[in-house]
Amino acid sequence: MRVYLDHNASAPLLKSAQDAIVAALGVTGNPSSVHTEGRTARSIVAKARSDVAALAGAESEAVVFTSGATEAASTCLTPHWMRDGRDLVLPRLAVIDTDHPCIREGGRFASADVTRLPVLPDGTLRLDALDAWLDAGPPGLMAFCEANSETGVTQPVEAIVERCRAAGAVVVCDSVQVAGRMPLGALRLGVDAMILSAHKIGGPKGIGAFILGSASMRPTPLLTGGAQETRQRAGTEAMPLIAGFGAAAAVVLDDATRPEDLLALRQRLEAGFRALAPGFLILGADAERLPQTVMVHHPALRAETAQIAMDLAGFAVSAGSACSSGKIGGSSVLEAMARGGAAIDPSRGGIRVSFGRETSVAEIDRFLAAFASFWARQGNSPQVRQVA
């Protein structure tokens, strides 16, 4: 039986989300119509909006549904915002050099106006570089991923927001990887927009959202031509996908699984890697990280080779972000960490193991045993001991 250990790419679809999608597919009405069928459809969207808002700690009216996190990022990463109904022009953008491509590439900003801020060896933002950027020009927009999709390293949101607020900068936080794994606190800390994606929390692919921190601050729409989503995103809402998103958000909010439970599995996995050979490095080991993500690097390990071998052995793991894998070459995350001083070879890549509430201790142990066999076949001498 295969073991799925690539939750950061996409979490398994929850049964409640699947049921909500199927039920919504049987509803005929357009959510914008005023007749009974339309009101029925609109009520499904409203319920999902409320559930997503509750997960983020926001009001329902703050949630704007999109086709996914990438569209949400493209909407929010724009020089043109509205503050209290008046145009607000943000002439420059800062991102973190390890960010997901949908943030790192700058959205609707011209490339010349985008600054990629460096990181420390552990992958966290160099706050002195942020300070220098804030001091170097007029107020701009700071956008960043709260948790790195490859290493799981989390950024110091409170410190970032505090500095940006003092300088008058707008802040957009991509919390896609945090939802369902750690409490969502970015809106409470004062970001202007938070980005979420349904399929990272057990909802369907093809639906996401950005959530505004204030009714007085909003980006200019990316898609125009209709009044849907309070004129923030034109086009008929994808009601079945939205219903699935809401159902998944409700499960995540009510789930009894604590980060500590996931952390215990992560620690077991890390101990297994370290027992295998002394050269295995857990990337970001000294930083705050997601409780269910491990990225391991070894100078004698080529990540693509290990990924294929694990797939053939029945284990789904990753050699990096799902938006950059499938290509030959180093990870931009590892390259940025190496520039920051990490003693790694980005060209060798890293193996990412990410799991969820469905993952068992037995599955982690099976993966470690299979990886040890692969390691031995490469001409290495495994030194595996039983993980307590």
Catalytic site positions: 323
Cα separation, 367 vs 295, in Å, equals 14
CA distances, 301 to each of 114, 150, 189, 279 (Å)? 34, 17, 40, 10
CA distances, 146 to each of 72, 142, 177, 178, 386 (Å)? 15, 12, 8, 7, 35
Say if CB 275 and CB 383 are below 8 A apart. Answer: yes
Cα separation, 285 vs 261, in Å, equals 18
For residue 328, which of 317, 319, 337 has the smallest C-alpha distance?
Answer: 319
For residue 311, which of 269, 275, 353, 281 has the smallest C-alpha distance?
Answer: 353
168 Rama class: left (phi>0) / alpha (psi -120 to 50) / beta? left
